[in-house]
Amino acid sequence: MIMKSIITLIFLFSIVNFCYGGKTSDYVRQQWPSADMSKGSFPPPSGYNAPEQVHITQGDKEGRGMIISWVTPLKRLPNIVTYWEESKDNDKQMAKSRVTHYKYFNYSSGFIHHATIENLQYNTKYFYEIGINGTARRFNFITPPEVGPDVPYTFGIIGDLGQTEDSNHTLEHYMANKNAQAVLFLGDLSYADDHPYHNNERWDQWGRFVEKSVAYQPWIWTTGNHEIDYAPEIGEHVPFKPYTHRYHVPYKASQSSSPHWYSIKRASAHIIVLSSYSAYGKYTPQYEWLKQELPKVNRSETPWLFVLLHSPWYNSNNYHYMEGESMRVAFEPWLVEHKVDLVFAGHVHSYERSGRVSNVRYNITNGLSMPIKDASAPVYLTIGDGGNIEGVANNFSEPQPSYSIFREASFGHAILEIKNRTHAFYTWHRNNNTKPVAADTAWFYNRYFYPHEEPDTANV
Ligand SMILES: *[C@@H]1O[C@H](CO)[C@@H](O)[C@H](O)[C@H]1NC(C)=O
Ligand SMILES: *[C@@H]1O[C@H](CO)[C@@H](O)[C@H](O)[C@H]1NC(C)=O
Ligand SMILES: *[C@@H]1O[C@H](CO)[C@@H](O)[C@H](O)[C@H]1NC(C)=O
Ligand SMILES: *[C@@H]1O[C@H](CO)[C@@H](O)[C@H](O)[C@H]1NC(C)=O
Ligand SMILES: *[C@@H]1O[C@H](CO)[C@@H](O)[C@H](O)[C@H]1NC(C)=O
Ligand SMILES: *[C@@H]1O[C@H](CO)[C@@H](O)[C@H](O)[C@H]1NC(C)=O
Ligand SMILES: *[C@@H]1O[C@H](CO)[C@@H](O)[C@H](O)[C@H]1NC(C)=O
Ligand SMILES: *[C@@H]1O[C@H](CO)[C@@H](O)[C@H](O)[C@H]1NC(C)=O
Ligand SMILES: [Fe+2]
């Protein structure tokens, strides 16, 4: 009798609800203390006033522009970047930077340069050089192919990186992948604000740390809470001051009024970046921008539609639990309506992959508060596991909610390989401390061209 009731209950539960067969990984990361790498770990390049902290990001809507940024520590000059196509080193072009600097409490920044170069050839290797005479430094990058529906492209995904030895492992593991062409960065860069007085020398050190990757391929920036740097107790009232001086993005090219939300097209992807730390309620600029942005996405041109933001909407960790909820309520119906393929978030210092679920039926009176399987909904990926000073978020809620397919409390990064308009292959790589190990893989099917159900198991 009891057995029969239990079976009936299980049966009822399985029709009301659904089950993805979620898995909580039993990999246990060794818990060393996460300290930031020592001050001398990434010293400035040699030479008087040598340019440092070189970084690039996409500089226009379609991928024919690049913003090249660097810091000269002592003098405003040199403010010129020279660049040329690999095959045309007798045809060099120059671009002038816009120079800025700022003070933060008792810190005074170097001269921060941003030069936008435009009308580059697609799919072409460029060299660029900054500095003069003995301090000249040369780098290179490859422009993306022309935007189009079947253009394969490989993105790396990194979040919450910081600057510990774990951060260095994450970055080295990512860089060991020679196929990855650009990084989608999910916010929380330097964690300078975890140091007394938000010691902004930690922003400089971070710039020197990540240069080995970001001087050679664009990182697409998302704003996290560690970029706010709001510290009225030391007289710092302007949110995002260090971040917005140091990291520029092409927000005007997508008619945005703020660097914290914008979009770009790259190869076969349309990428929308949102800000968890800017207003998003009805009538706010971010709300109005997203409302007009989503209908403009042309899936025949860019089949893949991704959203990047910092604070996850579906997160079953007790850390930062439900912090993304009010933004989910504000925007989730639009993302489902426009069949967003994937939503990438950071913030929670662990890894999690959801099934395709939505929770848009709920209103304040109907009680339908459980997420349900929804073929039009995105997959939610939490990749806040770069390995920063705050350590790993190792407290998942139990039982694992049915929307959660795989979760693991350790550090790592992800790779997304777009194959064509229908298929993309995804891998999350755990830092098995000093070695990357592929620990979660999935085929994602495009929501517009191939909205079939994906296998819903954890493939470890
Ligand atoms: C970062 O990792 C690289 C590659 O393993 C290593 O050579 C370098 O010493 C590391 N840097 C620090 C400061 O740990
Ligand atoms: C800023 O002030 C703090 C606290 O007084 C001090 O430790 C630090 O050395 C100062 N930094 C600079 C650049 O003056
Ligand atoms: C750098 O080189 C230029 C031309 O080669 C020269 O005129 C200038 O004096 C040099 N500057 C320094 C600081 O060596
Ligand atoms: C969408 O993109 C396709 C392919 O580039 C193009 O033919 C079509 O005109 C575009 N549609 C709109 C509404 O712009
Ligand atoms: C809430 O949902 C119920 C059930 O679907 C529906 O009858 C009701 O009209 C909804 N209320 C609002 C304010 O949308
Ligand atoms: C895990 O989170 C729960 C819920 O917030 C809390 O009660 C518990 O103390 C946490 N456990 C640890 C080890 O932090
Ligand atoms: C798209 O890529 C997938 C995975 O590589 C492949 O199986 C499929 O045949 C491709 N589709 C087309 C139309 O080439
Ligand atoms: C992970 O690291 C441990 C300890 O170094 C090692 O024993 C284990 O084989 C590694 N696992 C994989 C899958 O590489
Ligand atoms: Fe965060």
Q: With a 6 A CB cut-off, is 107 part of the ligand 2 pocket? A: yes
Which of 365, 368, 370 to mutate to test ligand 5, by most ligand atoms within 8 A of the CB atom? 365
- Ion ligand 9 — residues with CB < 5 Å: 188, 224-225, 347
What is the rounded CA–CA span in Å between residue 415 and residue 156?
5
Which of 173, 430, 432, 433 to mutate to test ligand 8, by most ligand atoms within 8 A of the CB atom? 432
Task: Say which of 55, 260, 320, 349 is annotated catalytic.
Answer: 320
What is the rounded CA–CA span in Å between residue 432 and residue 414?
14
Ligand at minimal distance from the CA of 50 is 3
Question: Cα(132) to centroid of ligand 3, in Å?
Answer: 7
Give yes or no: 320 in active site: yes
For 374-387, the pLDDT digits (tens) are 999 999 999 999 99
Question: Cα(46) to centroid of ligand 1, in Å?
Answer: 19
**Which residue's CA is minimally distant from atom 4 of ligand 2?**
197
| Token duo for residue 309 | 């933001």
Question: Cα(430) to centroid of ligand 8, in Å?
Answer: 11
Q: How many CB atoms lie within 10 A of CB 389?
A: 19
Q: Reduce the secondary structure of the chain to three states and give it as a string.
A: CHHHHHHHHHHHHHHHCCCCCCEECCCCCCCCCCCECCCCCCCCCCCCCCCEEEEEEECCCCCCCEEEEEEECCCCCCCEEEEEECCCCCCCEEEECEEECCEECCEECCEEEEEEECCCCCCCEEEEEECCHHHCEEEEEECCCCCCCCCCEEEEEECCCCCEHHHHHHHHHHHCCCCCCEEEECCCCCCHHHCHHHCCHHHHHHHHHHHHHHCCCCEECCCCHHHCCCEHHHCECCCCHHHHHHCCCCHHHHCCCCCCCEEEEECCEEEEECCCCCCCCCCCHHHHHHHHHHHHCCCCCCCEEEEECCCCCCCCECCCCCCCHHHHHHHHHHHHHCCCCEEEECCCCCEEEECCEECCCCCCCCCCCCCEECCCCCEEEEECCCCCCCCCCCCECCCCCCCEEEEECCCEEEEEEECCCCEEEEEEEEEECCEEEEEEEEEEECCCCCCCCCCCCCEC
Question: Cα(425) to centroid of ligand 9, in Å?
Answer: 27
Give residues with Cβ within 8 angstroms of 266, minimum separation 6: 58, 63, 144, 147, 153, 182, 220
Ligand at minimal distance from the CA of 361 is 5
**Which residue's CA is minimally distant from atom 7 of ligand 3?**
133
Question: Cα(165) to centroid of ligand 5, in Å?
Answer: 52
**Which residue's CA is minimally distant from atom 3 of ligand 5?**
366
Ligand at minimal distance from the CA of 365 is 5
**pLDDT of the residue at 27:** 86
Atom of ligand 5 nearest to the CA of 365: 1
Atom of ligand 8 nearest to the CA of 435: 14
Q: Of 70, 311, 290, 273, whose CA–CA distance to 188 is shortest?
A: 311
Could you identify the residue written with the tokens 């930690």?
Answer: 202
Which portions of the chain are predicted below pLDDT 50?
A: 1-17
**pLDDT of the residue at 31:** 67
What is the rounded CA–CA span in Å between residue 161 and residue 142?
24
**pLDDT of the residue at 7:** 40
**pLDDT of the residue at 131:** 87
What predicted TM-score, i.e. pTM, was given to this entire model? 0.94
